[in-house]
């Protein structure tokens, strides 16, 4: 069942190139220059007439929603709000009949997300689901949807569900951008070609596994860890922190890199490892200066950098390289080393990686 891997989580991390290829199948038609998604095509007018998109989800799926917010607003120029489903359902939200609500859920069984969907439907919104489990409750309750086709995810810590959710949402954003004319033809085709290279780039990112193991060994006994990222990679920082918390029980927090000076910088001393996503595209110089601030306070720096980077390497205690890609797609590669880092730390600490304490794979209670 685990295909030779020690844990489902590791198997699922390594499945990401093929899972994303499955997400693309029949949808990403690079040679024809089209993205085909029946759930979007059949409801194109609803999407194009939407004044805004509201995304509801929990946990890792909520992080995928945050990445999607950046992608939708950047490419399709549609305002997006991302809400924790649990908050949305209890705060009398303003939802209009011309809003599109996207609910993201790997299991399709999360009680809070289901309740948010029901509320949005009562208010007349069109609800689109992004689920992994075919025939799940949420996939049946939504008006339309697109499956991630990641295959079964057994590990409680979500990995391939996250990257395939981002993949589906990117396809939708590009499709809408094309239909709206908010992206040029050249840019659209460039994005399609680049999407096609992502599974191969994730393979390359996975090749850092042994190097990441060494970094994990070095930091496995810390009590706290900070994760920083900016722009498209800010939600990746949140996701990296969640992965570490869930399976290793180390306290971790994710922050937008520039927020550090508004509080968290006070935590930094020689005991504090800081994982910084500092890829070349996306506010690189600003992130490098954040790294300098951490270094001058003796913080330990683990940089997630673009292949061939030298500036961060000079400052950091460790760097982990990922292949270059266009900025909007960087989360798909920068996520990989963070998954591996938390996996190895948890294994070294002897934790139950696939079934961490107090957690269930699908949270069907409030
Ligand atoms: O099945 P869902 O995507 O609706 O689940 C949402 C969260 O419960 C889930 O992502 C949780 O945060 C994971 N354990 C994260 O790894």
**pLDDT tens sequence across 285-332:** 999 999 999 999 999 999 999 999 999 999 999 999 999 999 999 999
For range 203-211, the mean pLDDT: 98
Q: Model confidence at 365, in pLDDT bands (50, 70, 90)?
A: confident
Distance CA 91, CA 49 (A): 25
Please report the pLDDT score of residue 8 as a whole number: 98
150 lines ligand 1 (CB under 6 A): no
Residue of the nearest CA to atom 12 in ligand 1? 59
Report the candidate in 254, 312, 244 with the shortest Cα–Cα distance to residue 279. 312
Q: Is 363 in the pocket of ligand 1 (CB under 6 A)?
A: yes
Mean pLDDT computed over 140-145: 98
Task: Give the model's pLDDT for residue 145.
Answer: 98
pLDDT at res. 105: 98
Residues 233-255, mean pLDDT to the nearest whole number = 98
Place of tokens 């991302």: 82
1: pLDDT strictly greater than 90: no
Q: Is the pLDDT of residue 366 over 90?
A: no
Q: Taking residues 72-76, report their average pLDDT.
A: 97
Is the shortest distance between the CB of 107 and ligand 1 below 6 Å?
yes
Question: Does residue 218 carry a catalytic annotation?
Answer: no
Q: State the pLDDT at residue 179.
A: 97
* Neighbour-count burial for 254-282, b at 16+ CB within 10 Å, e otherwise: bbbbeebeeeebeebeeebbbbbbbbbbb
Q: Active site residue: 180, 213, 295, 361, which one?
A: 361
Expressed in angstroms and rounded, the spacing between residue 121 Cα and the centre of ligand 1 is: 22
Looking at ligand 1, which atom is closest to the CA of residue 362?
1
Report the alpha-carbon distance of residue 90 to residue 281 in Å, rounded.
38
Take residue 30 and report the two structure tokens written for it: 């690079």
Q: Is 355 in the pocket of ligand 1 (CB under 6 A)?
A: no
Query: What pLDDT, on the 0 to 100 scale, is given for residue 282?
Result: 73
- The reply to whether ligand 1 has any atom less than 6 angstroms from the CB of 154 is no
Ligand 1: atom nearest CA of 243 is: 16
Pocket probe mutation, ligand 1, options 61, 104, 136, 254, max atoms within 8 Å of Cβ: 61
């Amino acid at each position: 069942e685990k295909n030779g891997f020690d844990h489902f989580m590791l198997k699922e991390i390594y499945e990401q190139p093929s899972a994303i290829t499955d997400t693309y199948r029949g949808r990403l038609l690079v040679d024809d220059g089209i993205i085909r998604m029946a759930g979007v095509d059949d409801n194109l007018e609803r999407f194009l007439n939407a004044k805004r998109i509201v995304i509801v989800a929990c946990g890792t799926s909520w992080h995928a929603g945050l990445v999607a917010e950046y992608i939708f607003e950047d490419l399709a120029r549609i305002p997006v709000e991302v809400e924790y489903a649990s908050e949305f359902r209890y705060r009398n939200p303003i939802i209009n009949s011309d809003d599109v609500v996207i609910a993201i859920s790997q299991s399709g069984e999360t009680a809070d997300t289901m309740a948010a969907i029901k509320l949005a439907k009562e208010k007349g919104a069109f609800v689109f689901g992004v689920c992994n489990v075919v025939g799940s409750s949420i996939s049946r309750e939504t008006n339309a949807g697109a499956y991630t086709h990641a295959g079964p995810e057994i590990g409680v810590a979500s990995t391939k569900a996250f990257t395939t959710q981002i993949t589906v949402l990117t396809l939708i954003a590009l499709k809408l951008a094309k239909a709206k004319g908010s992206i040029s033809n050249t840019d659209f085709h460039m994005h399609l070609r680049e999407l096609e290279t992502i599974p191969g780039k994730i393979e390359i990112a996975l090749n850092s596994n042994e190097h990441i193991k060494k970094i994990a060994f070095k930091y496995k006994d810390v009590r706290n860890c900070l994760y920083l990222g900016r722009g498209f990679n800010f939600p990746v920082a949140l996701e990296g922190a969640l992965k570490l918390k869930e399976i290793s029980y180390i306290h971790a927090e994710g922050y937008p890199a520039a927020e550090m000076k508004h509080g968290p910088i006070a935590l930094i001393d020689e005991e504090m490892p800081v994982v910084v996503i500092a890829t070349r595209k996306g506010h690189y110089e600003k992130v490098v200066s954040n790294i300098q601030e951490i270094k001058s306070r003796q913080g330990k720096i683990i940089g997630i950098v673009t292949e061939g980077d030298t500036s961060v390497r000079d400052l950091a205690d460790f760097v982990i390289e990922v292949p270059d890609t266009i900025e909007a797609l960087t989360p798909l590669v920068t996520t990989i080393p963070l998954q591996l880092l938390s996996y190895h730390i948890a294994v070294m600490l002897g934790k139950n990686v696939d079934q961490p304490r107090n957690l269930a794979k699908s949270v069907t209670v409030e």
